[in-house]
Structure 1
Amino acid sequence: MRISATVAAVSGALVLSAFAVPAAQAAGSDAGSYRADVAKIREAAHAASGKAALSGSTVASPAADEPYALNVTFSNVKVHSGKPIVVGAAAHVSVPVTYTLTHGADVDITASDFLTGPYIYKGTYAQPTNMLFGEDAGTCTVTSATTASCKATIDIYPGDGDLSNVDAGAWKAGAEAIALNGQDPTSTTFDITKVGLADQGGFASPNVTRLSKLTVNAAPEPVKKGKTITVTGKLTRANWDANNYTGYSTQPVKLQFRKKNATTYTTIKTIKTTSTGALKTTVKATVDGYFRYSFAGTPTTAPINATGDYVDVK
C-alpha cells in the first residue's frame, strides 16, 4: 500500500517508518494484525528518533521509549526470482520472496509473536517515496541454531492506490523482524522498550513495471497476391494513476510475419506508435500467414507480443 515514508534511527540502524492499514484489509484478519503490529513498532521507532518526516512535518523532541535493536540480519533476498514485477491497472499481484534470516542465540524465532517479512521500496533506504509489504508475516524454517530459510509474499493492490505511474522502474528490497516478547501492541500496558526490531535494506529487487497490451488487425482478408495489406494496432499500458489503460506514445514496435505452418516470426519493419499509442503501416501480400506487432518493453513497461492475425492470400 502507498505510504508517506519517514526514517528513524534505532541503535544506529536505519528503520523505515510506519505504514497505513486499509480498514477493508485489516478488519478481522491475521494480515491486518500483522500490519497493525508492525505499523505500531515502526511508528514508535520514528517518534523516538525525533527525525523529520518527508512531508516536512517534524517531531518536537525525541520520545523516551523505543524498541531495542534486535540481533537479526538478512541475506540472500530474492524477489520474484529476479523477474520483473508486472502490475496491471487494478488486479492484485502477489510477489514471492525468499530470504535467509540470521539471528543471535538470544532471539527465539519460533516464538508465536516473532514476526518477519520482506518489503520493496522506491527511492533510497534513507528516504523511500513508496513501500510495499505483504498481507501476512513470512514463514521460516530453521536450518541451524542461528539461521533460518524464510519465504513470504509482497501484495500489491494498484486499484487501492498502492502505485502511481512515477513508481514504475527501479526498486530495492528490504526485510524486517520484530520480537514482541509477549507485548500486545493493542494493550494500554504495551511497553515498546521490551520489543525488538531489526530492519535491513539495500537488497536487489527487479523493476516494478506497468502491464502492457498490444493489438493487431491486418486487412483486407482475404486479399489478392500483390495487393496492399494495412496493418493497424494499438499499444497501451496500465495507468496506475487512473486505474485504466492508456496509449503508450512514440514507442518502437516491430511488425512481424509468420508464414502458414511456420513456427517463428520474422521482423518486416519497425514503426513508432502515435501520441495515442496507435500503429499503422502497409505491406504487400505475398503468402498466407500471420501478422503481429511486437513490443520489446522498457524499464518501466513490460514487453508484449500481439496475437497473430491470419491473412489468406489468394
Structure 2
Amino acid sequence: MRILITGGAGFIGSHLAEAYLEKGDEVYIIDDLSTGSLSNINALRENKRFRDRFFIKTDTIFNHDVMVELTGICDVVFHLAAAVGVRYILNNPLESIRTNIRGTEKVLELCAKFKKKVLITSSSEVYGKHTHAPLIETDNIIYGPSSNSRWSYAASKLMDEFMALAYFRTKGLRVIIARLFNTIGPRQTGAYGMVVPRFVAQALKNEPLTVYGDGTQTRTFTYVKDVVRAMTGLMESDVAVGEVFNVGGTEEITMLDLAKKIIRETGSDSDIELVSYDEAFEKNFEDMQRRVPGIKKIKRAIGFQPETDLDAILRRVIAYMKINHKIANPKQT
C-alpha cells in the first residue's frame, strides 16, 4: 500500500511513517519544515530496508501540482500538516489560521477528486473551556472571545472538522477525524510550547521548571506509538468513516505534579517556578483548566486502549533527550 503523510517530518508524522515502513508499505511525505525537521526522519532515510519505499518532498501542501501527483499515486492520506503549539500559534496567528483551514481544504478537495480515504488530525483544543471530565465527541463547544487569539487554533481545527464532515455528507468522501490529546514521546521539541520536552530539558540542565499559572491545570498524555496505533487502526476500519474520535490517555495529572515527577525521574536539583500566563504568553491569555478524553467510542470501534503509562513515557523521553540533544544533568557528569 502507498501512504501519503502531510507533515510527515513532524513529531507524530515521523513515527507514523516509521510504522508503515516497518509493515512493508511505501511511504510518501510532504513537509515544508516550518515545524517539522529532517532530523526526525534521518534514521528512516538512512535505513537500507526503507530506501526504495520512502519518498520525501520538501514543499508546501499549497503546491497544487505536487499535491495532485502525491494524492493521485497514494492509496490513503493522513493529513497532519498544521500549525502546532500554543507559542507558535500566538506568534504566527494569520499563517496558523491559513495553514489549518486552507491547507485542510486543499487536502480534502484532492482526496475527493481521486476518491482517496483520508484521516484528518484534529485536536483536544476544539473542546474549548470545558472543565468536566471526560470530554466526549458529542460535547458542546465553549470558546472565549475572538479578541483573544488563544482560541483561533481551536476554532480553525473545528472548522477543519466541519469541512471534513461536509465532504463526507455531500461528496461521499471516506474521511475520519481523530482528536488527539497531548501526544508525547521521543522527537518532540519544546520549541513551540510543548510542556514535557520543555520540562525535561530544564530538569536535565538543573534549571527551574517553569510552570504556567498556578499549576493546578490538568492534562492526560498519550504515548506517540499508541497514537500511531490508533490512527492506523482507524484508517483500516470501515465503521470509523464519517466519524470523530478522541485519541488520548487515561492518567490525569496536574502540571505541578508533572514537574515534580520529571524532577524525580531525572534526578534533578531543579526547583519549580510559577510563571503567570501574562508573563509567559500575552495579556488575558486563557488556558484550558482540565483536558481528559473519553475514549469509549474509539475502544468500541477498533478496540483501542493506550498501553504505555506516563512513567514509562517520561523515561523514554528523558533517555532520548539525553542522547539526541546531548543534555546531561551537571551533577551526573
Alignment TM-score, normalising by the size of structure 1: 0.23
Indicate the structure with greater strand content: 1
Alignment TM-score, normalising by the size of structure 2: 0.22
Indicate the structure with greater helix content: 2
Question: Max radius of gyration: which structure?
Answer: 1
